[in-house]
């Protein structure tokens, strides 16, 4: 049974993931060599080393996390051997080559001059952290995808510091309209839809998506909403009572808290999940909760069981109109849920997402590693990975290198130097610098820097990142999407809760797919959450789930979902899938505070991220975790602050 379904799905077909074992290329040459003869340095200097073109399991790929997990489990030093001294001496060592780490190096050079010697360590085989680039080839077509950070966007306006970096990189945000083929999908009559699955709703069915939030349009500004709602109610496989309840949420809004002031109502909404608000306060049929359950996955990595009703009000989800709330944000609202027009206008999507920002930062730091001169030519530029860690360059990026110990030489208050020990391909090395910036994930820091005060380590450990999969599937064509008249499908109960045709952007000589017969990247998103638990616990379980699920299982789920969603449009997974890249992020978005689970967020007082980011002697702490906001501008802001703590800027 399993085998015949696997055959239908094309599990045995040769695509560009079969040539990769767990995301590691097995080229003819490499396959002939035994790994220990092929030292890491040689491999990284070889022209065959080009991580963006690898498919299969990417993101936290095999080889990137084992040393850190050994530290967590207390086993690392048992087998580590004595560290070897590199004899290198830097002005600054940055742990973490994401946007925060790269921006920290950028700010440090601005303050100290371009001769400052900087080493950036990262445990992955590619730089950029979450801002990762996925490349694909199908016949003569070249396609890009974003492996993580999708775009320049933030719920609040970019700070002057973050905007300045964007401008220094010559990214002209208002010019985005020039590159974005805004009408491509609408001109083909494609629109957002919802996929109801038979395990949850009794039948597999694709239904029009009526909700403004599903489609990214505001309800008030979309005159089609009433018509779409009618069509949705006619087609959706949900209980009749649920349909009546949904209609009345929209058309007959009620005040469920009569007699309370607007602030008193908001205070109640801040303390109840949207799921409970719907069933226990508005008293709607549970099928409505099933439809809305996964809607916030893309933003928070959890469902409506863990999103405060007050935030759902901010997002314009149904059920609040009758409360007649004053539009001012309520206490404890998430920044994401507070509309801000200035912030909404500041948007730019490169075809590889904010990997272009990381690549532009690398171009500034190590020009010989990234050819070109403009923010548009970087899109097609081929990075020279052999130049990243070059002894002739004042700035070096050392990949596949996990920092395992960061300590002052002597007492933190009086030390002149910091020693950083890192693990690289089974060996351990030490190197020294005047200062260190930890721009890595906060949960890792207590293990690598035990000399920090206990209170700070506890605060760092509380930044439980949000586990996510960003999956890119290269399809040979998208005629099935055209036949089904959709470009984006929300799937409340499937393995991936959303799938989208690539956002059509042509820039710097890169051409996006323009005809349904062209190869295209389909982006799928999964939040590995465990509904019903407090958010941090959901993230812990989800992280374990992502680390322990095999690529084969993920691939089967991907093929099954695409087949069931697009099959009625003629899609055949065995024939139409050309490549699969799963960007696994068990440590994904920075944890953002939530009024349901973080009492300090409602009551005021010091937040854990403020405690966590305190400088300690010559060590400063960056990363978007340091601001508890999962955005690029926050990663940059925190880098700026951290550099300011160890040097004058
Ligand atoms: C899937 C996804 C999509 C996102 N989309 C957006 C978006 O569209 N827009 C937006 O603004 N933001 C988005 N974000 C948020 C994103 O995290 C930030 O924008 C930003 O890229 C974070 O940068 P950072 O440097 O703080 O962290 P990271 O990018 O996580 O970089 C930290 C680096 O430190 C490394 N590291 C950890 N421990 C060690 C160690 N011991 N030794 C060496 N290296 C170590 C990590 O592996 C990582 O490479 C997204 C995040 C994810 C996960």
pLDDT single digits (tens) 464-487:
999 999 999 999 999 999 999 999
- CB-side neighbour CA atoms (13 Å) of 638: 33
Is residue 117 pLDDT above 90, yes or no? Answer: yes
CA angle 348, 351, 353 (to 5 degrees): 60
Please report which helix (H) or strand (E) contains residue 365, including its range: helix 355-365
Range in 9-18, 232-241, 423-432 with the lowest mean pLDDT:
9-18
Q: For the chain, what is the total number of helices (H) and then of strands (E)? A: 29, 19
* Residue in 440, 460, 503 to alter for ligand 1 test, most ligand atoms within 8 A of Cβ: 440
- Residue 588 beta carbon below 6 angstroms from any ligand 1 atom: yes
Mean pLDDT of 378-382: 98
286 burial (CB, 10 Å; 0-12 / 13-18 / 19+) is middle
Mean pLDDT of 341-351: 95
* Residue in 148, 156, 162, 497 to alter for ligand 1 test, most ligand atoms within 8 A of Cβ: 148
Q: Between these two residues, 575 and 16, which has the higher pLDDT value? A: 575
Q: pLDDT of 392-404, one tens digit each?
A: 999 999 999 999 9
Please report which helix (H) or strand (E) contains residue 78, including its range: helix 76-79
* Residue in 632, 633, 642 to alter for ligand 1 test, most ligand atoms within 8 A of Cβ: 632
pLDDT for 81: 87
- Residue 148 beta carbon below 6 angstroms from any ligand 1 atom: yes
Q: pLDDT of 496-508, one tens digit each?
A: 999 999 999 999 9
How far is 331 from 7, CA to CA, in rounded Å?
54
Place of tokens 């890119």: 472
Residue 23 pLDDT class (50, 70, 90 cuts): very low
Q: pLDDT of 120-152, one tens digit each?
A: 999 999 999 999 999 999 888 999 999 999 999
Mean pLDDT of 186-195: 96
Instruction: Decide: 138 and 578 in contact? Cβ < 8 Å.
Output: yes
Mean pLDDT of 581-604: 97
Residue 220 pLDDT class (50, 70, 90 cuts): very low
Compute the mean pLDDT over every residue in the chain, rounded to the nearest whole number. 93
Q: pLDDT of 24-81, one tens digit each?
A: 433 333 333 333 334 566 667 777 789 999 999 999 999 999 999 999 999 999 989 8
Is residue 223 pLDDT above 80, yes or no? Answer: no
Nearest Cα to 333, choosing from 353, 307, 355, 359? 307
Please report which helix (H) or strand (E) contains residue 588, including its range: strand 577-589
* Residue in 130, 401, 445 to alter for ligand 1 test, most ligand atoms within 8 A of Cβ: 130
Strand 24-25 and strand 20-21: the pairing is: antiparallel
Residue nearest to atom 33 of ligand 1 (CA): 96
pLDDT for 44: 74
What is the CA(17)–ligand 1 centre distance, in A? 24
Mean pLDDT of 327-332: 96
How far is 209 from 630, CA to CA, in rounded Å?
27
Instruction: Decide: 150 and 476 in contact? Cβ < 8 Å.
Output: no
How far is 374 from 480, CA to CA, in rounded Å?
37
Mean pLDDT of 208-223: 59
For the chain, how many residues are written? 649
Mean pLDDT of 240-245: 98
pLDDT for 45: 72
Residue nearest to atom 30 of ligand 1 (CA): 129
What is the CA(142)–ligand 1 centre distance, in A? 26
Residue 641 pLDDT class (50, 70, 90 cuts): very high
Atom of ligand 1 nearest to the CA of 630: 15
What is the CA(371)–ligand 1 centre distance, in A? 24
Mean pLDDT of 405-427: 96
SS (H, E, C) 96-144: CCEHHHHHHHHHHHHHHCCCCCEEEECCCCCCECCCCEEEEEECCEEEE
């Amino acid at each position: 049974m399993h085998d015949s379904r696997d055959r239908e799905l094309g599990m045995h077909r040769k695509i560009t993931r079969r040539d990769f074992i767990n995301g590691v290329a097995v080229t003819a040459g490499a396959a002939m060599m035994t790994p220990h003869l092929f030292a890491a340095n040689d491999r990284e200097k070889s022209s065959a080393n080009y991580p963006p073109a690898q498919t299969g399991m990417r993101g936290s790929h095999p080889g990137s996390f084992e040393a850190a997990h050994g530290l967590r489990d207390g086993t690392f030093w048992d087998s580590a051997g004595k560290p070897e001294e590199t004899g290198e001496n830097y002005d600054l060592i940055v742990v973490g080559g994401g946007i925060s780490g790269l921006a920290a190096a950028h700010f440090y050079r601005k303050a100290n001059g371009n001769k400052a010697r900087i080493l950036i360590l990262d445990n992955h085989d590619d730089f950029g952290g979450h801002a990762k680039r996925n490349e694909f080839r199908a016949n003569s077509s070249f396609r890009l995808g974003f492996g993580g950070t999708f775009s320049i966007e933030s719920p609040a306006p970019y700070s002057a510091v973050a905007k300045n970096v964007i401008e220094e990189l010559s990214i002209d945000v208002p010019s985005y309209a020039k590159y974005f083929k805004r009408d491509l999908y609408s001109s083909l009559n494609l629109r957002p839809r919802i996929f109801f699955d038979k395990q949850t709703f009794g039948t597999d069915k694709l239904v029009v998506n009526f909700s403004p939030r599903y489609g990214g349009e505001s309800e008030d500004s979309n005159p089609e909403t009433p018509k779409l709602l009618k069509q949705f109610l006619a087609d959706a496989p949900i209980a009749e009572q649920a349909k009546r309840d949904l209609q009345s949420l929209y058309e007959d809004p009620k005040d469920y808290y009569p007699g309370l002031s607007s602030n008193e109502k908001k205070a109640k909404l801040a303390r109840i999940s949207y799921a409970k608000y719907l069933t226990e306060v508005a008293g709607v049929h549970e099928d409505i909760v099933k439809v809305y359950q996964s809607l916030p996955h893309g933003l928070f990595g959890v469902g409506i069981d863990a999103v405060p009703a007050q935030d759902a009000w901010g997002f314009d989800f149904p059920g609040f109109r009758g409360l007649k709330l004053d539009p001012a944000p309520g206490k404890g609202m998430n920044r994401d849920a507070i509309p801000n027009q200035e912030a909404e206008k500041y948007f730019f999507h490169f075809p590889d997402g904010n990997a272009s920002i990381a690549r532009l930062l690398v171009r500034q730091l190590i020009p010989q590693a990234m050819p070109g001169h403009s923010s548009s030519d970087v899109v097609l530029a081929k990075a020279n990975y052999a130049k990243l860690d070059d002894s002739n360059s004042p700035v070096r990026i050392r990949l596949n290198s996990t920092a395992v110990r960061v300590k002052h030489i002597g007492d933190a208050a009086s030390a002149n130097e910091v020693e950083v020990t890192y693990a690289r391909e089974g060996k351990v090395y030490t190197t020294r610098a005047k200062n260190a910036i930890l721009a890595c994930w906060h949960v890792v820091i207590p293990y690598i820097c035990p000399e920090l005060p206990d209170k700070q380590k506890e605060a760092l450990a509380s930044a439980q990142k949000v586990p996510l999969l960003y999956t890119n599937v290269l399809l040979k064509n998208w005629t099935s999407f055209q036949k089904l008249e959709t470009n984006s499908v929300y799937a409340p109960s499937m393995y991936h809760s959303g799938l989208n045709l690539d956002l059509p952007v042509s820039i710097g000589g890169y051409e996006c797919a323009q005809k349904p017969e062209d190869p295209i990247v389909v982006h799928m998103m999964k939040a590995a959450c465990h509904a019903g638990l407090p958010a941090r616990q959901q993230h812990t379980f989800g992280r374990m789930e992502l680390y322990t699920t095999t690529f084969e299982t993920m691939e089967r789920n991907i093929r099954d979902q695409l087949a069931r969603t697009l099959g009625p449009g003629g899609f055949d997974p065995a024939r139409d899938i050309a490549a699969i890249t799963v960007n696994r992020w068990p440590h994904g978005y920075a944890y953002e505070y939530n009024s349901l689970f973080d009492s300090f967020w409602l009551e005021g007082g010091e937040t854990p991220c403020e405690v966590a980011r305190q400088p300690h002697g010559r060590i400063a702490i960056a990363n978007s975790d340091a601001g508890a906001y999962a955005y690029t501008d926050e990663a940059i802001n925190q880098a700026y602050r951290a550099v300011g703590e160890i040097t004058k800027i």
